[in-house]
Chains A and B, each alone.
Chain A
């Protein structure tokens, strides 16, 4: 059953080929058997899952259940789940049990989706390798000495390792697309404002966006149908109809104009990754799409702009973790200042502390204009590059990341080496555009991701292209060794 796609599971549940309880038991057994190898799941909610599965079976028996009723999923541990620990991968929230559900979790619960548990992640979603998690790194199912990517590495590894047919994830600078690429699955970051951020622990509020991970584009469409909604509780959520993302998957891609940014094929791109992406572009051309070379001239400034804006917002967002209302508090504080300082130094890991310090620096008196003000202007230039490009093309396609999964510890002590991992994904977050990654090849036995960037709220067209690509390729059906 674990090799079925979500679309196949939906058919199987509705035709009573198997029950939600059987399916849930199957995936819980897989988590129990294989999670030690991957460290992808940090909380398993077995009892709750079986109860939800029983309810789903009752709804299915009545014949009027929503599309995803009875399908088991994992949630990234950044989404608040009522009564279930939500750690955000941090010691700071190791004891945090939210009294409410995030809107994304609530949407799935209303649809009868069964939560199997919560996935590991980089601490507060700050990382591209899952090495910053308080709960230890996640291992890539394709090569367990390599990283799964991050920050949604637990969700990606769980889907690749067949511990769940799909998972929720979030993306601030590439945290859905990069791990999807490194683990050989499909993942989609929607347009900023498409999915509610309410109950999703904030990292950088103007960049954060939740999205689905699954093995196929068709499954991502099914999940996005449920995740996307207008939510009054998120003031940046956009009040706009949610299309049926499954409806346009089968449209022909003939005549679609695909922009290929020349800046995404420059120095630093692994030759194997480049070859796989170019082959994928040729496949799309063979399907009738038209390739057009484009330029995104300010691409090289996206990482510097991001590492001002994201830490600046993070330093403000994370000021709420002070040991007063919830989460970790240090032992025996001698006074209030000591409590704040020791709580934060003991509760946050090194990368999170570094980003708070950088953000505080960029926002401090005397530096604000030179850093934060300048980064906001560069953000505008980057947005304008995409606006200009989309005047001429329907979609933009290129590599998701510069190279396949790398070994643990291989980026050394210099944080900048890790930051450059997101060089092709960060710009879309700065512009607020949707982007996705689908598997398009293998290098040294490890998957390569193809990135598809769409215009604002054009997720349906991205999914259409990705689905059509998956009709003529089989990269998305491949499984890591040992999975049968």
Chain B
């Protein structure tokens, strides 16, 4: 199956990945090859099969909504790219 260039551009936007002009042909070709592989799924007869999202489809354990960890903000902010006064900082978003 051939994936269209516009679709790759949309996927790149959704994934927040930039694909430069030089590599877009290669990326398209290789993604098409993988999609050819996964297209084999279409041959499976799955009528009336209920899909599973994890092994033995057990429901995940829930816990009481109570505090179990102490505040460790300083430790986690020490490894952040940029912080200011206890806040993570990013490029300006609003003028």
Q: Which residue of chain B is the closest to A311 with respect to CB atoms?
A: B34
Q: Which residue of chain A is the closest to B78 with respect to CB atoms?
A: A99
B37 sits at the interface (CB 8 A): yes
Chain A nearest CB from B86 CB (Å) reads 13
Most B Cβ at <10 Å: residue of A95, A192, A328, A357: A357
Please, which residues of chain A bring their CB within 8 A of the CB of B7? 361
Determine whether the beta carbon of A374 is less than 8 Å from that of B44: yes
Determine whether the beta carbon of A371 is less than 8 Å from that of B80: no
Determine whether the beta carbon of A380 is less than 8 Å from that of B33: no
Contact of B50 among A239, A303, A380 (CB under 8 A): A380
A353 sits at the interface (CB 8 A): yes
Determine whether the beta carbon of A432 is less than 8 Å from that of B56: yes
Chain A nearest CB from B88 CB (Å) reads 5
Determine whether the beta carbon of A338 is less than 8 Å from that of B91: yes
A364 sits at the interface (CB 8 A): yes
In the complex with contacts A97-B79, A338-B91, A381-B37 CB distance below 8 A: no
A371→B8 CA distance, assembly (Å): 17
B67 sits at the interface (CB 8 A): no
Is the contact region of chain A dominated by helix, strand, or loop, or is it mixed? Answer: helix
A360→B10 CA distance, assembly (Å): 10
Determine whether the beta carbon of A415 is less than 8 Å from that of B30: yes
A304 sits at the interface (CB 8 A): yes
In the complex with contacts A232-B63, A333-B91, A380-B49, A193-B34 CB distance below 8 A: no
A336 sits at the interface (CB 8 A): yes
A298→B44 CA distance, assembly (Å): 8
Q: Which residue of chain B is the closest to A324 with respect to CB atoms?
A: B88
A75 sits at the interface (CB 8 A): no
Please, which residues of chain A bring their CB within 8 A of the CB of B81? 323-324, 326-329
Contact of B17 among A301, A308, A341, A431 (CB under 8 A): A341
Contact of B55 among A206, A305, A413 (CB under 8 A): A206
Q: Which residue of chain B is the closest to A330 with respect to CB atoms?
A: B81
Determine whether the beta carbon of B54 is less than 8 Å from that of A192: yes
Most B Cβ at <10 Å: residue of A335, A353, A377, A380: A377
Write the B43-61 contact mask toward A (1 if CB under 8 angstroms, else 0).
1101001111111100011
What is the interface residue range for chain B against chain A? 35 or more
Determine whether the beta carbon of B91 is less than 8 Å from that of A378: no
In the complex with contacts A348-B17, A378-B44, A236-B30 CB distance below 8 A: no
Most A Cβ at <10 Å: residue of B36, B72, B90: B90
In the complex with contacts A301-B40, A356-B17, A415-B33 CB distance below 8 A: yes
In the complex with contacts A325-B80, A360-B11, A380-B50, A336-B34 CB distance below 8 A: no
A26 sits at the interface (CB 8 A): no
Within 8 A of B (CB), among A402-418: 413-416
Determine whether the beta carbon of B44 is less than 8 Å from that of A315: no
Chain A nearest CB from B61 CB (Å) reads 5
Most A Cβ at <10 Å: residue of B15, B17, B34, B39: B15
Determine whether the beta carbon of A416 is less than 8 Å from that of B52: no
Determine whether the beta carbon of B35 is less than 8 Å from that of A361: yes
Determine whether the beta carbon of A357 is less than 8 Å from that of B42: no
Chain B nearest CB from A191 CB (Å) reads 8
Chain B nearest CB from A120 CB (Å) reads 22
* Cross-chain pairs A/B with CB under 8 angstroms, 30 sampled: A98-B79, A99-B79, A192-B54, A206-B53, A206-B54, A304-B37, A324-B80, A324-B90, A329-B81, A336-B90, A336-B91, A338-B91, A339-B91, A342-B18, A345-B19, A354-B31, A357-B12, A357-B27, A371-B41, A374-B42, A377-B49, A377-B51, A378-B44, A380-B49, A413-B26, A415-B30, A419-B34, A432-B55, A432-B56, A456-B56
Which 10 residue pairs of A and B lie closest in terms of their CB atoms, listed nearest first? A432-B55, A376-B51, A377-B46, A329-B81, A206-B54, A99-B75, A340-B16, A377-B51, A377-B49, A192-B55
Q: What is the interface of chain B, defined by CB distance below 8 A to chain A?
A: 3, 7-8, 11-12, 14-19, 26-27, 30-31, 33-44, 46, 49-56, 60-63, 72, 75-76, 78-82, 88, 90-93
Q: What is the interface of chain A, defined by CB distance below 8 A to chain B?
A: 95-99, 192-193, 206, 232, 235-236, 239, 298, 300-301, 303-305, 307-308, 315, 319, 322-329, 333-342, 344-345, 348, 353-354, 356-358, 360-362, 364, 370-371, 373-381, 383, 413-416, 419, 430-433, 456
Q: A324-B88, A361-B31, A377-B46 are in contact. List 10 more A-B contacts (CB 8 A).
A: A236-B54, A304-B39, A304-B41, A344-B16, A360-B14, A371-B41, A377-B49, A415-B33, A419-B34, A432-B54
